[in-house]
Amino acid sequence: MDSRREHARRLLTVPSTVISLDGNPPTNARLIDLSRNGVGFLSSGQLQPSAIYELQFRFPGQSVVDSVRIEIVYSTLHEATGLFRCGARIHAMEPDSLARLVDYVTMPIPE
């Protein structure tokens, strides 16, 4: 965990989908880090800073699709992969999704 962060963060790599709320087609993404207040992911398309999206994903080992409402903070090209590295604040999520997020972020990391 980075000591500069207010909330615990957990690295992961899971497929996800970013859904525009204005009717544009969904964007494929790969969720790469997660905390109680934010997410980091790689996106196949550039996303608009300050725009609100829905991010759908599954926690590792879970069959339930979780969905969170996010606001994009930054979206910059990661030249090595050709994907966009995005950071976003979490604005809203269902209580069950929040419980799974807290469990995932706070569970011990296997050695």
Domain tally, the chain: 1
Mean of per-residue pLDDT scores for the chain = 85
Q: Which domain holds residue 33?
A: 9-106
User: What SS3 class is residue 46?
Assistant: coil
Q: Is the pLDDT score of 84 beyond 70?
A: yes
Q: What is the pLDDT of residue 9?
A: 54
Across the range 61-86, mean pLDDT stands at: 92
Instruction: Round to whole Å and give the CA distance between 31 and 90.
Output: 13
Answer whether residue 3 is part of any domain.
Answer: no
**β-bridge partners, 48:** none
Q: Rounded to two decimals, what is the model's pTM?
A: 0.81
Answer whether residue 96 is part of any domain.
Answer: yes
28-40 confidence digits (pLDDT tens): 999 998 888 889 9
Answer whether residue 26 is part of any domain.
Answer: yes
Answer whether residue 67 is part of any domain.
Answer: yes
Label residue 110 by pLDDT band (50, 70, 90). low
Label residue 109 by pLDDT band (50, 70, 90). low
CATH number at residue 87: 2.40.10.220
> Do residues 106 and 86 make contact, with C-beta atoms less than 8 angstroms apart?
no
Answer whether residue 23 is part of any domain.
Answer: yes
38-62 confidence digits (pLDDT tens): 899 999 999 999 999 999 999 878 8
In a 13 Å sphere around the CA of 51, the CA atoms on its Cβ side amount to 16
